[in-house]
């Protein structure tokens, strides 16, 4: 039985840090766990220009604790002002990885997202030409689409067509939640990949709504049936390099979650690798953890995995009840619960 593993320091290919006072905590938590992070641009206003991304990156770097180091890579928010010239400039700018596509209104801070994918074909053509990846929040949020069908509908309606039109375009389906998405990625060529969160490996929809409602397990895409959770576990632990770590960790305050109209998002950044390790251990697949967490993402995006390593040990820890975010409180995923793995400091 393995009680301690050493892996290259992981890369989080999908994280929300927010800005200003939030950075102190989100960045410190991320830097303790990750070598490189891919930071999502859904701030208000969105990060949509190169200068804004680079100054955001500097604010992130300023928040890295002196004892740590971190390599933040940024995504730009795809919106109606995005031009083919900007795509070309992104291809030539270090630290900016690609573009994030949010369907308008699909999730937190997506008001500036896009309504009609077909109007962006000139942008996708430029992305394909300059080898700039497209990260997609793949949910069809038209009012008639059931919340549990949103991911499958989006893949059926848009991704297949997009991939056919731009066969070389690098596409990442972010935070996948369904067995259909897993199958789609498995059957696609190497330029299509997917991130998988820790929380979607841990929970299914019964953990969100049951005889009680659990707002801290509510995120988008919403967790699906257990059979989908199982498909995600199988994919993450399979050793297939098209699946990699993206926590989608997103801080929302306790009062914004515990309310009549609570918002979507789960904070896992503080304990992410331990949460993944336990799932891999339960599956007898700890040997696949390093590939999933530290190698597959960097390889897909053509940057180097970490040289540094971390140790994760099979030692129980209790997840903190609440995390202080300046004057606010964030309730982390599995708050107050025991998990079986810990990050060795
Ligand atoms: C994310 C957030 O809060 O920024 N929320 C979430 O439920 N996942 C946005 C996102 O990735 O959808
Ligand atoms: Zn996200």
Decide whether any atom of ligand 1 lies within 6 Å of the 219 Cβ: yes
Ligand (nearest to CA of 108) = 1
Ligand (nearest to CA of 106) = 1
What integer pLDDT is reported at residue 273 of this predicted model?
A: 98
How far apart, in whole angstroms, are the C-alpha atoms of residue 75 and residue 39?
A: 6
**The model's pTM:** 0.98
Decide whether any atom of ligand 1 lies within 6 Å of the 248 Cβ: yes
Which of 217, 175, 143 minimizes the C-alpha distance to 40?
175
Which of 14, 16, 75, 109 is the best mutation target for the ligand 1 pocket, counting ligand atoms within 8 Å of the beta carbon and taking the most?
Answer: 16
| Residue 326: pLDDT band with limits 50, 70, 90 | confident
pLDDT tens-digit series, residues 38-79 = 999 999 999 999 999 999 999 999 999 999 999 999 999 999
pLDDT tens-digit series, residues 190-204 = 999 999 999 999 999
Is the predicted pLDDT of residue 250 greater than 90, yes or no? Answer: yes
Which of 101, 95, 86 minimizes the C-alpha distance to 134?
101
Catalytic amino acids?
Answer: 248
Q: How far is ligand 1, taken at its centre, from the CA of residue 223, in Å?
A: 13
pLDDT tens-digit series, residues 138-188 = 999 999 999 999 999 999 999 999 999 999 999 999 999 999 999 999 999
Decide whether any atom of ligand 1 lies within 6 Å of the 11 Cβ: no
How far apart, in whole angstroms, are the C-alpha atoms of residue 332 and residue 12?
A: 17
What integer pLDDT is reported at residue 14 of this predicted model?
A: 99
Is the predicted pLDDT of residue 345 greater than 80, yes or no? Answer: no
Exposure string (b/e) for 153-164, b if CB count within 10 Å is 16 or more? Answer: bbbeebbeebbe
Q: How far is ligand 2, taken at its centre, from the CA of residue 175, in Å?
A: 7
Exposure string (b/e) for 81-108, b if CB count within 10 Å is 16 or more? Answer: ebeeebbebbeeeeebbbbbbbbeebbb
Which of 310, 274, 185, 176 minimizes the C-alpha distance to 233?
176
CA distances from 215 to 49, 51, 196, 224 (A): 34, 36, 20, 15
- Are 236 and 193 in contact by the 8 Å Cβ rule? The answer is no
The 3-state DSSP class for residue 56 equals helix
Q: How far is ligand 1, taken at its centre, from the CA of residue 250, in Å?
A: 6
Is the predicted pLDDT of residue 2 greater than 80, yes or no? Answer: no
Q: Concatenated DSSP letters for 284-303? A: T-GGGHHIIIIIHHHHHHT-
């Amino acid at each position: 039985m393995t009680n301690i593993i050493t892996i290259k320091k992981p890369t989080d290919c999908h994280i929300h840090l927010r800005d200003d006072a939030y950075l102190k905590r989100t960045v410190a938590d991320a830097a303790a766990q990750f070598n490189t992070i891919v930071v999502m641009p859904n701030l208000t206003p969105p990060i949509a220009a190169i200068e804004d991304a680079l100054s955001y990156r500097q604010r992130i770097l300023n928040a890295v604790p002196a004892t740590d180091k971190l390599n933040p890579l940024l995504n730009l928010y795809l919106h109606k002002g995005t031009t083919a010239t900007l795509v070309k400039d992104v291809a030539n700018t270090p630290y900016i990885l690609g573009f994030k596509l949010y369907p308008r209104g699909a999730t937190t801070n997506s008001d500036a997202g896009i309504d009609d994918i077909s109007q962006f074909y000139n942008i996708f053509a430029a992305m394909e030409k300059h080898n700039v990846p497209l990260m997609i929040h793949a949910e069809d949020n038209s009012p008639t689409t059931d919340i549990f069908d949103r991911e499958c509908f989006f893949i059926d309606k848009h991704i297949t067509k997009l991939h056919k039109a731009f066969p070389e375009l690098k596409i990442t389906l972010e935070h996948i939640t369904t067995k259909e998405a897993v199958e789609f990625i498995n059957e696609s060529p190497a330029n299509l990949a997917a991130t998988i969160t820790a929380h979607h490996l841990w929970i299914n929809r019964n953990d969100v709504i049951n005889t009680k409602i659990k707002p801290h397990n509510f995120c988008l895409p919403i967790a699906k049936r257990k059979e989908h959770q199982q498909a995600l576990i199988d994919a993450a632990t399979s050793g297939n390099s098209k699946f990699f770590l993206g926590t989608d960790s997103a801080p929302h305050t306790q009062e914004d979650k515990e309310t009549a109209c609570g918002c979507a998002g789960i904070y896992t950044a503080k304990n992410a690798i331990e949460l993944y390790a336990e799932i891999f251990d339960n599956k007898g697949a700890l040997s696949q953890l390093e590939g999933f967490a530290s190698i597959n993402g960097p390889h897909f995006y053509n940057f180097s995995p970490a040289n540094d390593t971390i140790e994760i040990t099979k030692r129980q820890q209790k997840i903190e009840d609440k995390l202080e975010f300046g004057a606010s409180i964030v309730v982390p995923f599995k708050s107050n619960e025991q998990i079986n793995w810990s990050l060795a400091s």
